[in-house]
Homo-oligomer: A and B are copies of this chain.
Amino acid sequence: MRKEDLIECHGRIVPFIHETPILTSRLLNEIAGADIFFKCENFQRMGAYKMRGATNAISQLTDAQREKGVVTHSSGNFAQALSLAAKSLGVKAYIVMPSSAPQVKKDAVKGYGGTIIECEPTLAARNAMAEEIRSKTGATFIHPSNDLNVIAGQGTACMELLNEQPDLDVVVVPVGGGGLIAGTALAAHYFGKGCSVIGAEPFEVDDAYRSLISGKIESNETTNTIADGLKTELGDKSFPLMQEYVDRIIRVTEEEIVAAMKLIWERMKIVIEPSSAVAFAAVLREKESFKGKKIGIIISGGNVDLKNLPF
């Protein structure tokens, strides 16, 4: 992907997204011993950066494709993002969700205008159902993370961050399917001044950490983490970009995630998801290596169930 591709992507999606604020906190800087710039995608439309990639992917479709709609499988933020992006662009969105998904998530997708198709809660059933919808309706399948148009869209958050803070030393982002980190790595490569990119991951789902070491996409045996947005695995589009442009992955414990989340809620007064706290937890865990640096952190989202908080 070229620098121009990212610039064009940003121009395409900017009428449909928020250019989210960048917040700082004197207290958190003191605690971390560094200057941290939080790019607040929890304030993004539908509450997460995923709105960027979904909007870009739909924007790239031909008129004929748009007429037939889009389809994805997701029970998380991408389901809502594709629904809202599709609605904004006047396109129909089919969302394949496991029947076990919480009602609150189903309601959110419906609220944004998506059409839900339920399936058994297995990866195989999910893929099969998405394929069935695709062949029946002619809708274009859009993967939540392993899609270059999605990756480019996610990278625009880091572009905006570097536009305001051009001399960041490093950007730290959570790693799930790899869409955000791959896009961020491209943006840092093209728009940073020697800005490195570090991923952050729970120990409980450290597939990205292991993948970068082994050189092939690794799986997770279990996914016992509070950071529910990070349970997915890397793909053949996101992984090569990570191998090329990502420095390393820092792993954090569940306790570190909750402590970082609590600090951000209490001190910055913003609502963020556990997945978003993972990046700040990584900075605190390896404080010495970040000391005195100018750090960007992408707060990936703010969609939490207030009835079910970890504090």
Contact = CB atoms under 8 A, between A and B. Distances in A.
A164 to B, nearest CB: 15
Nearest to A308: B311
Interface string A14-58: 000000010100100000000000000011010100000000000
Contact of A266 (B265, B270, B272, B306): B306
Contacts of A246: none
Nearest to A23: B43
Contacts of A270: 269-271
B269 A43 contact: yes
A265 B271 CA distance: 7
Contacts of A306: 262, 265-266, 309, 311
Q: What does DSSP make chain A's interface, helix, strand, loop or mixed?
A: mixed
Interface in A205-222: none
A218 to B, nearest CB: 33
Nearest to A45: B26
A88 to B, nearest CB: 12
Copies of this chain in the oligomer: 2
Interface string A223-267: 000000000000000000000000000000000000000100110
Nearest to A310: B306
Interface string A38-81: 00001101010000000000000000000000000000000000
A47 B269 CA distance: 8
21 contacts: A21-B21, A23-B43, A26-B45, A42-B269, A43-B268, A47-B269, A262-B306, A265-B271, A265-B306, A266-B271, A266-B306, A269-B270, A269-B272, A269-B302, A270-B270, A270-B271, A271-B271, A306-B309, A306-B311, A307-B311, A309-B309
